[in-house]
Structure 1
Amino acid sequence: MATSDDAFERSTIRAISWRLLPLILLGYLASYMDRVNIGFAAPTMNAQLGFTASIYGFGGGLFFISYALLEIPSNLALARVGARRWLARIMITWGLVAMSMALVRTPWQFYLGRFLLGAAEAGFFPGVIYYLGLWFPQAWRGRAISRFYIAAPLASVVMGAVAGSLLGLDGRLGLHGWQWLLIAEGAPAVILAFVFLRFLPDRPADAAWLGPEQRAWLEAKVAAGNAAIAAPDHSQLRALLRPAVIALVLVNFLYLGPYYAFTLSAPTVLKEATDLSASQVGYLIAAGGITGALGMAFTGWSSDRRSERYLHLAIPLVLAAACFAAIAFVPAPGVVMAAYLAMMACYFGISAAFWLAPGEIVHPRAVAVTVAAINGLGQVGSFVFPWLWGVAKDRTGGFHLGLSLLPLSFLAAASIVLGLRHAQRRAG
């Protein structure tokens, strides 16, 4: 039977969830959409501009180099300036750069645009992870992260649903369809930035919509949970040298880079493997966004319920490897479609579990920098793998070589996670 304290806790968490998470979800949806929408633009953009797969893969991956370089500085600035203003600044900058990508004409302009887009977006995701840590107690954090991070698979739903219509505007006002797509999908970030400035409070103490007792309880609960994790490092940067943090960097490198190598070319890969039309591929990718959202929601819920993070990360890593193997080695259209839908559920389940680990390894004072470092250094793989993917495509004339290597990377990441789990259990 629920006590009055339980009811008070649930009502407080419900209040902050409904006030904060939908807005943050929309912001991250816009972020993820602007990061990968060139996958839909690529077939016509590359053909019209004369870009090879190597040029496209190198430029697509350049986003993650500047993103990685500026992650830590951006989050140090966020902690100083405040989440509301800094996240809004990030959104305005990346929205404008994303729209300007419609102006590229040469490979070097494409490279510059992707590099600047990564620099503009740097810090948004780890900044949100840090921000949620100020609002949600440890027992609720997994659900909070999965409910905002669900925007990533939902972005696939939105892109898959609208890409065909936007590409169909080809010739309107003298613009190509891929230009309409980039402009229309970059604008929401700029608009949402002003909504953030108006409605996103920095800390519970600033939330006028919470009662005084709720604000006091929330800050005490979060502080108590944080105190139980570890003593703060004298230097935030010292936390980055911990073996567990280095292990998470490697895991992020090994699963994130291969995923982006695939997803930046997913519309083309799926079209070739299934003989679906461009609009049908869009619907398949939208369906993958739905299975991804379900996988993410389930993993966040189950991980909190069982108070376990590492198996919830290792198991979907292994399953994702199996899905990529099926796409690579079983060319039947039905198998490829089913494997793609299952892979999306696994991948976003991985993401839901992965970002719960840093908050249980380092003290909250170091979380912003630690998450930024894990995300930023791991994102280097998101440059390396798409670039090599494009080179392999140009050298072999197809995607099979790249696809066949993806399972190995995911299995390597799973082995590191299991080793980290063993080390953490021994230390505990």
Structure 2
Amino acid sequence: MITDLESRVSRKLMLRIIPFVMLLYFVSFLDRVNIGFAAMTMNKAIGLSPTAFGLGGGLFFIGYFLFEVPSNLILHKVGARRWIARVMISWGIVSAASAFVVGPNSFYALRFILGVAEAGFFPGIILYLNLWFPSRQRAVAAAWFMAAAPISTAIGSPLSGAIMKLPSIAGLSNWQMLYILEAVPAIILGFVVLKYMTDTPRKAHWLQPEEREWLVARLKTEAEEKQSHAGHTAGALSALRDPRVLALALIYFGTSAGLYTLGLWAPLIIRQYGFGSFETGLIAGVPSVLAVVAMIVWARHSDRTQERTWHVVIPCVVAFAGFALAGGAGSALMIIVALVIVNIGISSAKAPLWSMPSMFLSGAGAAAGIAMINSVGNLGGFVGPFVIGWLKNVTGGYSAGLYVVGATLGVSAIVTLMLSRQTRQAPIAVEERHGH
């Protein structure tokens, strides 16, 4: 039974926190994937082959991988407000600097440094949401936050396509203007974070005293219940060694491979059917609009039923089928349908997946574990785009790469089922040991 106080607090949390973190992620995702549009003229201008472009696009995730866990542990120590501000300002500066790459090597270097600069942002926000939202709201809160990625594609794709139609300004080409114009909001928002973001519920003066006390007590009760369960992990090193963390990272690997393959390659795949840059942007944005609706509805169902496993498995299988369809597509209409299916599958899997770590992690363990899942999982963002580029060089087409990326989502579905079976068996063994 939801009380009036609980619904009031829930509404305030959703209105105060979610739109703002969505805006931050919108800008973040735009700066990650705008190279898919820059590539339309940048690749020729600086001499990038498909393999070199795929490699450079993916090197972002190597920098991200190496610095993700340290970054999130620092966030846990110094607070989200200061650290997220630092992340945004530094990645905005690096993203703008990408306008001045002159060849493959400088392109590789800037993509790697961008990953280092942005490391900690996504897991930091996931950790931040876990500090604020009770468990029965967590998947929906995560879904709204992550909806910013497909919204960024839906709005950012036509915007990026329009910028790519600009004439040369002050000696800067359209792809250079794209990097600079889309980096400025990140720098501005970094300073806004310092003023607007609140580190913990105890400091939330925008809540009434009774609302603040209820939220703090509710989160404390949930944390104590979680810590009393067998298999709970609170230490950073323990979390990094936990097989469940590694399993979730492998599951996330498949969804990341799919997501960033779409972000980097979808504009070029669509454009081969003869569309202009603006039309390509509009078409690339359509699947994302539908994905937002699907992921919110799916997350609400997951929270209402408190079921996570099948809410991850089914979307992964759907995305797998979408990539298989895209690989065999022979027309623009089939490609668009396939991209809709893939977008809905990948987006719907993410919120239930990110509700799983908080079931067994807390404190520094949550900071380290969530960062580990995201950093290892995001290596899929390196592998997916690179495989597409490499196999396009080898085969001359996109089909083989799309099939391989689809297969990673099939693996994600299988590992989710295996993890579920293991966690169901574990409590039985604990009960038997205690003689219950």
Identify whether the pair has TM-score above 0.5, normalized to the shorter chain.
Answer: yes
Q: Does 1:64 align with 2:23?
A: no
Deviates more, 1:71-80 or 1:242-251: 242-251
1:159-209 Cα distance to aligned partner (Å, 9 max, x none):
122112211223122111111111111111111111111111111121111
Q: Please tell me whether the aligned partners of residues 49 and 106 of structure 1 are also in contact (alpha carbons under 8 angstroms).
A: yes
State whether residues 226 and 364 of structure 1, in contact with CA within 8 Å, keep that contact through their aligned partners in structure 2. Answer: no
Aligned to 1:38: 35
Residue in structure 2 matched with residue 256 of structure 1 by the alignment: 256
Corresponding position of 1:113: 110
Distance in 1 of aligned mates of 2:59 and 2:86: 22
Tell me if structure 2 keeps the 8 A contact 1:317–1:350. Answer: yes
Shift of 1:364: 4.3
Conserved? CA contact 2:253–2:408, under 8 Å: no
Q: Does 1:79 pair with 2:102?
A: no
Counterpart of 2:366 in structure 1 is 367
Match for residue 381 of structure 1?
380
User: TM-score, with normalisation over the residues of structure 2?
Assistant: 0.94
Task: Tell me which residue corresponds to 1:167.
Answer: 164
Q: Distance between the aligned counterparts of 1:400 and 1:269, measured in 2?
A: 10
* Other-structure match for 1:23: 20
The one-letter code matched in structure 1 to 2:369 is: T
Residue 115 of structure 1: CA displacement? 0.5
After superposition, residues 274-289 of structure 1 pair within 5 angstroms as 274-289=273-288
The count of residues paired between Structure 1 and Structure 2 equals 424
Residue in 2 that maps onto 1:134: 131
Letter in 1 for 2:122: F
CA–CA distance in 2 between the matches of 1:287 and 1:337? 8
Aligned ranges 1:2-401 → 2 under 5 Å = 6-230=3-227, 233=233, 235-272=235-272, 274-401=273-400
Question: Contact conserved, 1:288 with 1:344, CA < 8 A, in 2?
Answer: yes
Unaligned runs of 5+ in 2: 428-436
In structure 2, give the amino acid aligned to 1:380.
Answer: L
Gaps of 5+ in 1: none
AA paired with 2:271? K
Single out whichever of 187-196 and 286-295 deviates more from structure 2.
286-295
* Offset, 1:210: 0.7
C-alpha separation in 2, matches of 1:75 and 1:128: 10
User: Residues 233 and 239 of structure 1 are in contact (CA less than 8 Å); yes or no, is this contact kept in structure 2?
Assistant: yes
Contact persistence 1:123–1:372 (CA under 8 A): yes
159-168 or 77-86, which deviates more? 159-168
Query: Contact (CA 8 Å) 1:153, 1:292: kept in 2 or not?
Result: yes
TM-score by structure 1 length? Answer: 0.96
| Residue 420 (structure 1) aligns with | 419
Q: Hey, what's the Cα distance between the residues in 2 that align with 1:297 and 1:83? A: 25
Moved over 3 A (4+): 230-234
**Equivalent residue number for residue 432 of structure 2:** none
Shift of 1:257: 2.1
Q: CA deviation at 1:293?
A: 0.9
What is the CA-CA distance between 1:388 and the residue it aligns to? 2.7
Calculate the aligned-residue CA RMSD, in Å: 1.5
**Helix, strand or coil at the partner of 1:331:** coil
Deviates more, 1:102-111 or 1:281-290: 281-290
Contact kept? 2:132, 2:200, Cα under 8 Å? yes
CA distance in 2, matches of 1:14, 1:55: 47
Percentage identity across paired residues of the two chains: 38
Taking the aligned partners of 1:169 and 1:217, their CA distance within structure 2 comes to: 53
